[in-house]
Structure 1
Amino acid sequence: MAQDNQGPLVLFYTAFFGRPPPFDTAGCSVPVRLTFDRSRLAEADIVIFHIPDAWEIGDALKYAGQVWVAFSMEASAHYPLWTDPAFMRRFDLIMSHETAADIWTPYLPPMRAWQAAVDRPLPAKTEFAPAVMFQSASVDRSRRNDFALELMKAIRVDSYGRLLRNRDLAGPDLGRQTKLDTIARYHFCCAFENAISHGYVTEKIFDPLLSGTIPIYRGAPDVADFVPAGSYIDVSDFPSPIALADHLRRILKDEEAYARYFEWRMRPLPPFLADRLALVQEPALGRLAAIASSRIAPGSERARGWPSLPFGLRRFLETRLRRLVRTHRQRRSARRAIVSSGGTK
């Protein structure tokens, strides 16, 4: 295995929507080194590519014995390359939320988050509107936007996101905690995924569950494999938004019926969920290193071999040119910003 006593070198080659990738070496049972420096490509043991940022991939050189990993946390409906066999065959391993992935990276909160949630008393429901929604992205492969609009015509929903916004936060927006605290004040929370795909179960449903609010879920057909039974309302059980609104009004008038959605908090987590949480307790980079270990060639062997161009010379040159253009534009924008602010350099 091509590593020193600090563990294999993992290079995250692409951007991650302009943000740091959701990986952490802390807690890995084996040492792992993580870098974002593309100049270290030749010495990297494992190279991760974020497929939604596929424009950056074309100039990557692959060295013999190097393990390439295709990574995405998005629904495949948004990124056709993910289901393109000709494109995906360049990679050795798949890392994603899909249950069939080599390295499974679900949106599941860790066990400690579930435990903390059930240890807290249910929050008081102080808002006049029965339901809340945080939805800002216009991306919509699930027809959630139309559904949300029709539901809002049938029952009051306070919408704090950019989409269908009708309510502002009462105080400063401190990020995720503000969102969770706001959700906790409502009886229900609209949890609508931007695509309907197996395994694509995101924080949309987990945020209200762990905040002490009932999720109204529209999304993955296999959502029942990710959350306790009876803990959420499945939109697919109702023929229309009007029928769903009628159900919400009925259980608001029936305290026992409403309370049944929280009975899961009084019991241990179901075995299937506990098993899944145990499976992902090891950080993703640790699991990746363990799976890739048998495929990694020693660094000396990689140094002797010539690298290949998996995406071809044309794609290599196009990607390099695109990088140069983007870098030039960024530098020009930076210079203009300096000038406009009164700087001299």
Structure 2
Amino acid sequence: MHISTSFLYIFATLSLTMAIPGKSNVYHLVDSAESEWTWIARLSDRYKFNAEAQKVLHNRLVMNYMRPIPKAPKIITEEEPISVLLWDTEGLEKVAGDTELASQCSVPCRVTTDRSESGKAHMILAVGDEVPDVFAILQPFQQKALFVLEPDLSLPNAEKRVDPFHMLVSYSRHSDIRVDYSRSLSIPSGLPVFAQKTKKALAAAFISNCDNNGDARYRLDYLRELSVHMDIDSYGACLHTPGLPTDVNFKEIASQYHYVLVLENTVLDDYVTDKFYEALSTDAIPVYLGAPNIAEFLPDRQSNHIVIEARNFPDPTGLATHLKELALDEKAYMEYFEWRSVGHDPSFSKQNDFEATGKNSFVCRMCEHYNLRVEK
């Protein structure tokens, strides 16, 4: 596989147009300065990729494509494939044990967890905050890779976080290899039966991370205030509704309600967790507070009736009023499920499930990325 330098130049040129230097990407939930929910705007300010963090990650991506990888001692062949060493497997247990993970790649590729191969592996993938000591003694052709599915790339230390690595595998659009949770979406057949929405409460919540010391506490504040203005059944450990079980079948229970609340623990571009995809798989409308660019992650980008975004309302009171009114209008309510008959948007089918196998696996894409940039 050979990619010309002109292609790399075009890619880099196009990439440079993706970011707008100096332009802050701060999303506020409302335009009104009088919103009583100023804490939600502060949350957005703190956790979104600020302009500097975006610039750091974006420029790093562009420079990577302009900087070739030194040639390896051995020519890449089917007998001597590009190798990816998973130094850590935390969170990757399923894929780490999959023998088919690199079996259908477009370039010779293999994956291993054998640390004794650290001296010859083309790429070494680290998960978490610790930088392996072995990174200090790698040869020029060996690439240090970081796998991130948590939102720590949003913090002010984004540059320090990624600096030791040649390759970033994460949820961010500024990654060398982008991954996500799209595996969780399984589109139900048929439409919900409106008459079967018999629960007294309009919405169900399933939040089990009750950290009140971190910024995740803000979503609990939102849930607490929203529950003042409408009935909500909380099945999670947080703000649990007395008398309700905690060990339940999420899809089965959520489908009995008009709405299922999806409140991410971080308001951050591109950070969309499996909670959202699981909610889309139910017979309830997802009410979402999280990534400001959630529209880019919908199965039908042409539809405005798939998810209800909390940030589009001035406060929980306004959201509750809208949800109660919609629940009384069967025709308008059912419009939120018409997308099921349309199928996936072509762009959605290209989402990058981090547990995908075969030719779509992130390991294959790492090998392809390496092959693209290595000196021939």
Q: TM-score range by the shorter chain?
A: 0.7 to 0.9
> Does residue 192 of structure 2 align to residue 122 of structure 1?
yes
Query: Which residue, out of 147, 158, 165, partners 2:240?
Result: 165
- 2-structure distance, mates of 1:6, 1:137: 45
Structure 1's 164 and 287: CA in aligned 2 closer, same or farther, altered over 3 A?
A: same
Q: 1:4 Cα shift? A: 5.1
CA RMSD of aligned residues (A): 3.1
Q: 1:79 Cα shift? A: 5.6
> Does residue 370 of structure 2 align to residue 292 of structure 1?
yes
State the one-letter code of the partner of 1:221.
Answer: P
Structure 1's 47 and 2: CA in aligned 2 closer, same or farther, altered over 3 A?
A: farther
Q: 1:277 Cα shift? A: 6.7
Structure 1's 16 and 56: CA in aligned 2 closer, same or farther, altered over 3 A?
A: farther
Q: In 1, are the aligned partners of 2:222 and 2:316 still within 8 Å (CA)?
A: yes
- 2-structure distance, mates of 1:185, 1:101: 38
State the one-letter code of the partner of 2:129.
Answer: A
1:101 is matched with: 175
Q: In 2, are the aligned partners of 1:13 and 1:47 still within 8 Å (CA)?
A: yes
State the one-letter code of the partner of 1:39.
Answer: S
Structure 1's 186 and 42: CA in aligned 2 closer, same or farther, altered over 3 A?
A: same
Query: Which residue, out of 100, 111, 118, partners 1:41?
Result: 118
TM-score by length of 1: 0.72
TM-score by length of 2: 0.67
- 2-structure distance, mates of 1:257, 1:121: 14
Q: In 2, are the aligned partners of 1:160 and 1:167 still within 8 Å (CA)?
A: no
Q: In 2, are the aligned partners of 1:65 and 1:295 still within 8 Å (CA)?
A: no
Q: In 1, are the aligned partners of 2:289 and 2:311 still within 8 Å (CA)?
A: yes
3-state DSSP of counterpart to 1:119: coil
Query: Which residue, out of 219, 229, 244, partners 1:154?
Result: 229
Q: In 1, are the aligned partners of 2:288 and 2:307 still within 8 Å (CA)?
A: yes
- 2-structure distance, mates of 1:37, 1:66: 16
3-state DSSP of counterpart to 1:69: strand
1:201 is matched with: 272
Please identify, of 217-226 and 200-209, the stretch whose mean Cα deviation from structure 2 is larger.
200-209
**Equivalent residues in 2 for 1:30-69 (5 A)?**
30=105, 32-50=109-127, 53-55=128-130, 57-60=132-135, 61-69=137-145
1:179 is matched with: 250
State the one-letter code of the partner of 2:124.
Answer: V
- 2-structure distance, mates of 1:253, 1:158: 19
> Does residue 325 of structure 2 align to residue 250 of structure 1?
yes
Please identify, of 261-270 and 27-36, the stretch whose mean Cα deviation from structure 2 is larger.
27-36
Q: Which has the higher helix share?
A: 1
Structure 1's 87 and 267: CA in aligned 2 closer, same or farther, altered over 3 A?
A: closer
State the one-letter code of the partner of 1:54.
Answer: D
Q: In 2, are the aligned partners of 1:3 and 1:9 still within 8 Å (CA)?
A: no
- 1-structure distance, mates of 2:243, 2:363: 39
Q: In 2, are the aligned partners of 1:49 and 1:71 still within 8 Å (CA)?
A: yes
- 2-structure distance, mates of 1:260, 1:294: 45
Q: 1:195 Cα shift? A: 0.8
2:204 is matched with: 132
Q: In 2, are the aligned partners of 1:47 and 1:66 still within 8 Å (CA)?
A: yes
Which ranges of structure 1 fall in alignment gaps of 5 or more residues? 299-345
Which ranges of structure 2 fall in alignment gaps of 5 or more residues? 1-74
2:152 is matched with: 76
Q: In 1, are the aligned partners of 2:237 and 2:246 still within 8 Å (CA)?
A: no
Task: Calculate percent identity across the aligned residue pairs.
Answer: 26
- 1-structure distance, mates of 2:336, 2:190: 16
Please identify, of 122-131 and 228-237, the stretch whose mean Cα deviation from structure 2 is larger.
122-131
Q: 1:78 Cα shift? A: 6.6
Q: In 2, are the aligned partners of 1:77 and 1:195 still within 8 Å (CA)?
A: no
Structure 1's 271 and 20: CA in aligned 2 closer, same or farther, altered over 3 A?
A: closer
Q: 1:243 Cα shift? A: 1.3
Equivalent pairs, count: 285
